[in-house]
Amino acid sequence: MMGILSQAGIFSIFVSILINILISITGVLPSAFITFANLSYFGLYGGFIVSIIGEALGAIISFVLYRKGLKKWRLKKTQQG
């Protein structure tokens, strides 16, 4: 993870937030690893801020995606039966 962030250069904040969003959407992997990488790479305060932003955006995007998917599924179920 640290290698990815160091290769991203100035875009490392955006890469970290994107990875955090992807982890939130999948819901399978724990986000503690990306948080640890953020703290190591950006420092205590910077890493904390980047992690909070990534987690919040990931939660919002996951909520919207799951809600749309649930709506489509429920509409499909009511039309079938």
Check residue 31 and report its DSSP letter. T
In this structure, the chain runs to a length of 81
CA distance 38 to 1: 9
Residues whose CB falls within 8 Å of the CB of residue 57, separated by 6 or more in sequence, listed in order:
17, 20, 21, 24
Q: Tens of pLDDT along 8-40?
A: 677 888 988 999 999 888 888 788 888 898 899
Note the pLDDT of residue 26.
Answer: 85
Enter the tokens of residue 77: 């179920």
Q: Tens of pLDDT along 34-81?
A: 889 889 988 999 999 999 999 999 999 989 988 888 777 777 777 775
Residues whose CB falls within 8 Å of the CB of residue 31, separated by 6 or more in sequence, listed in order:
20, 23, 24, 51, 54, 55, 58
Note the pLDDT of residue 53.
Answer: 95
Q: Global pTM?
A: 0.75
Note the pLDDT of residue 7.
Answer: 72
Domain boundaries of the chain, sorted by first residue = 2-80
Check residue 9 and report its DSSP letter. G
